[in-house]
């Protein structure tokens, strides 16, 4: 599961790849300069590091994500739930909803998710 842990800079980098990938590494370095202010060596170093961890594939100068955004979000959510709420989903939801009003549409979507999860 640690495979899905991304630090902030890694997540921002992966966000670009999830949006635009597969992508040529040269084009990726230009986008990273524009969006993240990274020079080419920084981008290539990140490609190498994430490839070594099995998160990316860089073949023939084409960068492809090997993990999905949803997998990372699921890992991050589970880690937050465990770390900050002792694994309690009701405690998380209570904290999240405190002093917040849901629209009727949001409430209906959440009800539907709960119904589907309890089947």
Q: CB-based contacts of 15: which residues, under 8 Å, 6+ apart? A: 69
pLDDT digits (tens, 9 = 90+) for 47-101: 999 999 999 999 999 999 999 999 999 999 999 999 999 999 999 999 988 988 9
Where do the structural domains in the chain lie, given as residue ranges? 2-69
- Top-level class of domain 2-69: mainly alpha
Cβ atoms of residues 85 and 92 within 8 Å: yes
Q: Is 24 helix (H, G, I), strand (E, B) or coil?
A: strand
* Maximum CA extent, the chain: 51
């Amino acid at each position: 599961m640690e495979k899905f842990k991304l630090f902030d800079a890694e997540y921002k980098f992966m966000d670009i790849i999830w949006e635009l990938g597969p992508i040529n590494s040269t084009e990726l370095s230009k986008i990273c300069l524009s969006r993240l202010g990274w020079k080419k060596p920084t981008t290539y170093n990140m490609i190498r590091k994430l490839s070594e961890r099995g998160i990316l594939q860089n073949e023939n100068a084409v960068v492809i994500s090997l993990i999905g955004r949803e997998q990372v979000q699921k890992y991050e959510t589970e880690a937050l739930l465990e770390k900050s709420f002792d694994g309690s989903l009701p405690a998380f939801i209570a904290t999240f909803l405190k002093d917040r009003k849901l629209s009727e549409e949001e409430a209906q979507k959440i009800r539907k998710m709960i119904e589907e999860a309890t089947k």
